Amino acid sequence: MSAGTREPDGIGGGQMPDPSVPPLTAAVPVRIRDRFDLRPGLRRVRSSALPIAQIVVAATGAYVFAYFVLGHTTPLLAATVTVASLGLVRDARPRRVLETVVGMIVGILIAEVLLLLAGHGWWQMGLALLVTLVVARFLSKQASFAIAAAIQSLIVLITPSSTGVPFSRLLDGAVGGVAALIATALIPRSPRGEARRDVVVLFRAFDSAVTTLGLALRLGDRARAERGLEKARALDPLVRTWRESLESSVAIARISPWLWTKRGELVRAERVLAAMDLATRNLRVVARRTAYLTDDRVTRPVAAELLLSLGRGAALVEQSLHDISLEPVAQEALLGIARHLDPAEVTPGAGFGDQNLIAALRPLVVDLLVGAGVAPDRARSAIPRI
């Protein structure tokens, strides 16, 4: 093969590519309509439909209460505190909402005090902004806390009070904060939906990494192994994303009466998340060893089949999240793999590198077993002693 000729993807020595093996790369056609696609925007609106409804209901309720019950003719802060504290962020935990509310009320309080002591003016506004930012940064490490406090402080300093009563706008802010917390409990954003989507994304990416590494071992393909290593390294952000949405689900389920019945499901999801966090780390170890071993272009069908079998076991773990009756199926499948992970028996007479690869599969199968509901001690004891 000449220096300017490229080998077929994944195959060395001038062999013809196997049509059953997916190529490493593929051309992606770009159409003009893709540049003006409305679907991403529509998906964003659809995914934010419940948060939008929650904000509208809560802000309107806070305004109506302050206007009709408290008699405030322009309860601006009642609405703005509600909107700013709820927001459209993924993290809808009550604690986050409460922290934002406290930050804004701190800003309102500082501005009201300075109004009484120094009155209106440009330097009073600068002083209020300085004091608010300093106090807010002292109280919280979150930058959003300080910014929220500063914005509300500016609103108080710049806009005149409709009632003329000191600290009346502080009461409006409190009304907005209470409305936001009530809406969080009674109109939950159901981050369980987001968590489900995050689960699908993570497990699909995990399966893709395992499949790529398995094919690399089966073909002795170093390039494909490197690609599998890249995919394995890309799993960590997906784990963090799922953790964020799941923590929001758990926090909201503690205060929302509509989600109390889902707490058992959330506990199982937390267990699977912890197991997959460890599993993705161990998969990176497997990927690094695969990339090292495939440099010799030797096929390793046994190791490939073991790894692909673990990928199928991980898919069963995902399915058991949605259907608990599949947990025993996932457990038996993974236990069957675990019993065969003795490096000396799987790769008799092989070198240290091959046995080291099989040994790297052992903690991975333990993580998946724990995710499937097996006690950690039993999962570890299922692996042959070496």
Q: How distant, in Å, are the alpha carbons of 39, 216, 290, 384 from that of 352?
A: 52, 19, 13, 18
Residue 64: count other Cβ atoms within 10 Å of its Cβ. 14
Model pLDDT, residue 8: 42
Series of mean pLDDT values for 10-residue runs along the chain (386 residues): 42 50 60 70 83 92 93 90 84 82 90 87 88 89 84 86 79 93 83 79 97 96 96 96 88 81 85 96 96 92 94 95 92 94 77 87 96 94 88
**Residue of 170, 186, 180 whose CA lies nearest to 84:** 180
Q: How distant, in Å, are the alpha carbons of 257, 282, 286, 350, 357 from that of 292?
A: 53, 16, 10, 15, 10
CA-atom Rg of the chain in angstroms = 28
Cβ atoms 170, 116 nearer than 8 A: no
Model pLDDT, residue 304: 94
**Residue of 127, 132, 79 whose CA lies nearest to 106:** 132
Model pLDDT, residue 361: 95
Tell me the one-letter amino acid at 311: G
Model pLDDT, residue 7: 42
Q: Is 191-381 a CATH 1.20.58.220 domain?
A: yes
Model pLDDT, residue 3: 42
Cβ atoms 280, 347 nearer than 8 A: no
Model pLDDT, residue 19: 59
